[in-house]
Structure 1
């Protein structure tokens, strides 16, 4: 009888323990529902987050999964930040420049005219104050999100035009698709800018709704077919020497993850920074080599134009710093870091002749 009683008690204890453990075991499996701002078919823009989703599944042995939703399928790109913050979705992938209308400093965590190249940008982000300020911006803005840099690409082209641009006056009166802080520079030169989504640019060029456009790197622009309509492609990408992309995670969802799970997501995104820039760097020159066959003329901005762009950017940076204290805080910190970094950069790297 005693053995029977002990057996019953043991069974009851085990059952209670199993019932207690069941929810914890279920919580061990995480599904990140992730709307993205760029189609997953676009190399270097959309492909990095696909790579992240695959690696998360592998590294976590299937305990962390990411389901990707193409632009507009669950949440439209401009709504990703609000959707993640409110908990409508628990994560999202975009670039912070999309939110500069809500938080002016957001653009500084996306791409900076005449700003840092990828290596320097990552140095400031991870070993300067960049990441701390990045999170502070969202916290100060009242957004319930954890921000994780999750991809980076090197320079973009700075525009596709229907005719050569030799002097600043040639830009006056143009309607142009332009992104981020560079758009403010172009506006100072008499250009009307709009930030059309990538999928709408070709149609706008074809119909004459815009006269010119910048979007991304050559391999990406080729996918969108700009070369079929506009034939003058200008370099260097003074407005985006490097562009960072972010994974936003709802803070409540983030808080429910274990430290190991959080580290898995953060380190997979850090690995994606390496993978994304390697992918982007490898695919540009084959596309550029075929440009002439497609009737495209690759042009490099003359000194007058580059000096003009830089002068106007200095004006924009000063104006935005005066208008927004947090923009000034981030800009001053980045500028101080870059002044220090210049001692290394100017001595360590070989100058490259064109």
Structure 2
């Protein structure tokens, strides 16, 4: 072979190698690796599997091209302390609940739940078809965050107490973990409230830092062991008839995704809503029965107590509406939806 032919062959081989390496680089560039914080331990019933489920579905749908690694509370951030890291891009995504961020904007609490609020079906309908999600996205976008409504759970219990509550006067001076705007209702009854992440509640109860708590549904609360300390569990969950979960994503990272990966993420997120709600309903009876076997008394609030709580809620609501135009915007949107929905809601279902 002549020298010229050897040179030409060498050039062709070099060109082919370049094309192959460039192709490999393009394929590698299409792979996305994200880190996602979970506000709830993966061993916690109902709430814990959500982050695992969403990340696993995204990984499988994308055939591994969109790999999201889930981290337990405390690994990347404290349980509820994920807002600022997401805004700043410290990690890519976080699974939690909007009420965890009410210190940033009190309107976020209303994206989670509110006292004497709608059940899961109506709440879900308003969020997805009545404008709730759109307003949520607008609020979070101010801090460079993309908001996704990714889950819903059924009613919660409204408190674990060491002693039976015979009168609301017993609540005065009580130190209690309480979530969302419902905490402000309790404050009007003389309760000193604080919002603790799930994993922080049991030690606080055990050490006497708090006297009582609410957190979630019986199955979830049982995961945290509250029944071992407080033997009176009160129903119904007047403060949380349904509660949403969210996944927050750093906005720049979201906008940098290919459309197909955005679709993969959103499909997994929306699919979880129905699965989580069904699991939430399915697991509660067994948990309540198990609690009773462990010495827990399940108690129902009287109508008089519920009426008093509703009156205090009306006061809190007016204060919230006056204090924050974002709350007013959310409330106007929900109220308009509810006024039309109730034609169906009041006639379509058996009472």
Query: TM-score, normalization: structure 1?
Result: 0.93
Corresponding position of 1:73: 75
Match of 2:63 among 43, 61, 64: 61
Shift of 1:20: 4.4
Contact conserved, 2:177 with 2:210, CA < 8 A, in 1? yes
Corresponding position of 2:208: 208
Match of 2:44 among 38, 42, 45: 42
Contact conserved, 2:177 with 2:195, CA < 8 A, in 1? yes
Query: Residues of 2 paired with 1:50 and 1:229: CA distance?
Result: 30
Contact conserved, 1:36 with 1:69, CA < 8 A, in 2? yes
Alignment of 1:80-229 (within 5 A): 80-139=82-141, 142-229=142-229
Shift of 1:183: 0.4
Query: Residues of 2 paired with 1:118 and 1:222: CA distance?
Result: 22
Write out per-residue CA displacement over residues 96-123 of structure 1, whole angstroms, 9 at most, x where no aligned residue.
Answer: 1111111110001111211121111111
Query: Residues of 1 paired with 2:197 and 2:253: CA distance?
Result: 29
Quick one: structure 1 residues 13 and 221, their matched pair in 2 at CA, closer, same or farther if it must change by over 3 Å?
Answer: same
Quick one: structure 1 residues 255 and 8, their matched pair in 2 at CA, closer, same or farther if it must change by over 3 Å?
Answer: farther
Alignment of 1:210-289 (within 5 A): 210-289=210-289
Q: Helix, strand or coil for the counterpart of 1:77?
A: coil
Contact conserved, 1:48 with 1:275, CA < 8 A, in 2? no
Query: Residues of 1 paired with 2:82 and 2:316: CA distance?
Result: 27
Query: TM-score, normalization: structure 2?
Result: 0.94
Number of residue equivalences:
349
Q: Helix, strand or coil for the counterpart of 2:147?
A: strand
Query: Residues of 2 paired with 1:63 and 1:246: CA distance?
Result: 23
Write out per-residue CA displacement over residues 52-98 of structure 1, whole angstroms, 9 at most, x where no aligned residue.
Answer: 11111111111111111111112123431111111110111111111
Corresponding position of 1:303: 303
Structure 1 residues not aligned, in runs of 5+: none
Query: Residues of 1 paired with 2:12 and 2:347: CA distance?
Result: 72
- Asked whether 1:339 is paired with 2:342, we answer no
User: CA RMSD of the aligned region, Å?
Assistant: 1.9
Query: Residues of 1 paired with 2:272 and 2:62: CA distance?
Result: 16
Query: Residues of 2 paired with 1:276 and 1:6: CA distance?
Result: 63
Shift of 1:144: 1.2
